[in-house]
Amino acid sequence: MNIKKVNFIGVVFFMVMLIACSQPNKEIQVLPAHSHNDYEHERPLLDALDCHFKSIEADIYSIGDSLYVSHNEEDIKPGRTLRKMYLDPLKKKVKENNGSVYGSGEEIILFIDIKDDAKRTYTLLDKILEDYQPMLTVFQNGKKKKGSIMVVVSGNRPFDLMKAQKIRFAGYDGRLPDLDKDILPNLMPVVSNSWGEYFTWNGTGEMDAAEKTKLKEFADRARNEGYILRFWGTPNKTPEQKLATWKILREAGVGLIGADDLKGLQQFFISDN
């Protein structure tokens, strides 16, 4: 065979492979699921990513110039920092998967729940997130520049400080009363609330029709106004309660469904399709 022809075929093959590798992986279905207290799982972050969850939650405390991941301050352990447990591994995933966490081009959410002083810890968080700016969704002058990961600050949230920033590397996690405050989604992309604050249904038996209507109205309003809706503290004591709650939330159109049982929620979404 002619050497030039061989070289030409080789170049064409290389170009085809390069184009194929640069395409988003559309086979992965990212689930509208939230990994609650993700750091308490056997493999923090990785278990949720294996289940293709869209949203992951980490609680943080600030000590010196580091942010430590823990639910309680007395349980903080050396080395369990936000950088090591979440930001660096996510950066590696984005690099490996053609610019997004799953290789599908879809933005995922990293909830960062501030457990101590709102202003002090957020100021440090903002400084740390700047180091990861290339992979993050950035909010600049009221406009959103979509990235691979949208950070959302929950827990103790310094609303006024975040609102005043011209450049932010995180969004604000609102509450249901905030729906009446005309806060733009580019500042408050998510609205989260305690289930028990608005609903009495405990996952057993039929949900009251009035409560079901109220849930649907919340979900429709949040979606129509550009917010992602999420509830915490939903009924989950038994497998039956969990399954019934997931069904109710999905039927209502709630944007993110949270769980500690990652495999169970993944299987629910897969079997429900």
DSSP string of 200-238, one letter each residue? ---SSSPPPHHHHHHHHHHHHHHHHTT-EEEEES-S-SS
- 154-178: pLDDT as tens digits: 999 999 999 999 999 999 999 999 9
How many CB atoms lie under 10 A from the CB of residue 45? Answer: 22
- 62-91: pLDDT as tens digits: 999 999 999 999 999 999 999 999 999 999
Share of the chain above pLDDT 70, in %: 90
**Which carries the bigger pLDDT value, residue 25 or residue 140?**
140
Q: Given a cut of 60, is residue 14 above it in pLDDT?
A: no
**273 — pLDDT class (breaks 50, 70, 90):** low
CA 10 to chain centre: 42
Q: Given a cut of 60, is residue 12 above it in pLDDT?
A: no
Q: Given a cut of 60, is residue 215 above it in pLDDT?
A: yes
Cα atoms found within 13 Å of the Cα of residue 177, Cβ hemisphere only: 2
**210 — pLDDT class (breaks 50, 70, 90):** very high
Bridge partners of 108, per DSSP, are: 149
How many CB atoms lie under 10 A from the CB of residue 126? Answer: 19
Q: Given a cut of 80, is residue 214 above it in pLDDT?
A: yes
Check residue 102 and give its pLDDT.
97
Angle at which helix 209-224 crosses helix 239-252, to 10 degrees, equals 50
Q: Given a cut of 50, is residue 100 above it in pLDDT?
A: yes
Q: Given a cut of 50, is residue 17 above it in pLDDT?
A: no
Share of the chain above pLDDT 90, in %: 88
Find the range with the poorest average confidence among 23-27, 60-64, 222-226.
23-27
* Amino acid code (one letter) for 28: I
Check residue 11 and give its pLDDT.
40
Check residue 142 and give its pLDDT.
86
Check residue 254 and give its pLDDT.
98
**Which carries the bigger pLDDT value, residue 22 or residue 141?**
141
Find the range with the poorest average confidence among 5-14, 101-110, 144-153.
5-14
Q: Which of 59, 118, 60, 110 is nearest to 87 (CA)?
A: 110
In which element (H, E) is residue 239 found? Answer: helix 239-252
